[in-house]
Amino acid sequence: MHKFFDNKGFALIELLVAMAIIVILSFTILFDFDTGQKKLALQRDAYKLAQDIKRAQEMAMSGIEIDCDDGLPFVPAVGYGIHFKKSAYKDADGQFYILFAECSGNEQYNSGTDIEVEKIYLIKGIEITKLKPSDDFGIFFQPPDPVTYISNFETGQTAEIEISCEDDTSITRSIIVNNAGLVEVK
């Protein structure tokens, strides 16, 4: 009588099947891990961008003072905002947007007269893929309420900033801002 179940070792076919299952599971996990990392980086940048917009809004509400004239007498900033420029705001460190103090009084960023408070970089591999209402606009908050301007318009505008992974533009996140100052991440 043959003792099939008393065999103490593995057959070659059993070993190959087990190794094939391990290889398939490893590739699946590694592929999902890479996609998961991209999604996490994208989500992190989307929430950071929304938080930076809210930070500009809070700076306007709190009355943080920056001297626009950099001398005497003190000339305070008119308000604060975030400026986006899809094609031009990119350097060796990546793509960025600017948090600025408005000094010129025209509710938009002017590089010669307004103060760049901070240049904020996106995570490497994340890029701005869509800007609405245009490829060059700003969201500006004028104290004390604050009044929200999108591309110099106090009413009737909605801003949308869409970001995605550079190598996979099918994964996107959008940040929506309206003239009431509501910031939403989708």
User: Is residue 23 included in any domain, yes or no?
Assistant: yes
Domain hosting 107: range is 12-185
Examine residue 6 and state whether it is found in any structural domain, yes or no. no
Tokens at residue 96, please?
Answer: 């960025």
Q: Structurally, how many domains does the chain consist of?
A: 1
Give a yes or no: residue 79 inside a domain. Answer: yes
Q: Which residue has the tokens 């043959």?
A: 2
CATH number at residue 125: 3.55.40.10
Q: Evaluate whether residue 3 is within a structural domain.
A: no
Residue 4 lies in a domain: no
pLDDT, tens digit, for every residue of 117-157? Answer: 999 999 999 999 999 999 999 999 999 889 999 998 989 99
Q: For the segment 59-111, what is each residue's pLDDT rounded down to a tens digit?
A: 999 988 888 877 667 778 899 999 999 888 999 899 999 999 999 889 999 99
pTM of structure: 0.83
C-alpha gyration radius of the chain: 26
Query: 98 lies in a domain?
Result: yes
Element (H, E) at 56: helix 12-62
Q: What is the pLDDT of residue 7?
A: 60
> Considering the domain boundaries, does residue 1 fall inside one?
no
Confidence of residue 37 (pLDDT cuts 50, 70, 90): confident
Which has the higher per-residue pLDDT, 177 or 28?
A: 177
Q: How far is CA 59 from CA 56, 70, 150, 166, in A?
A: 5, 19, 17, 32
| 57 located within any domain | yes
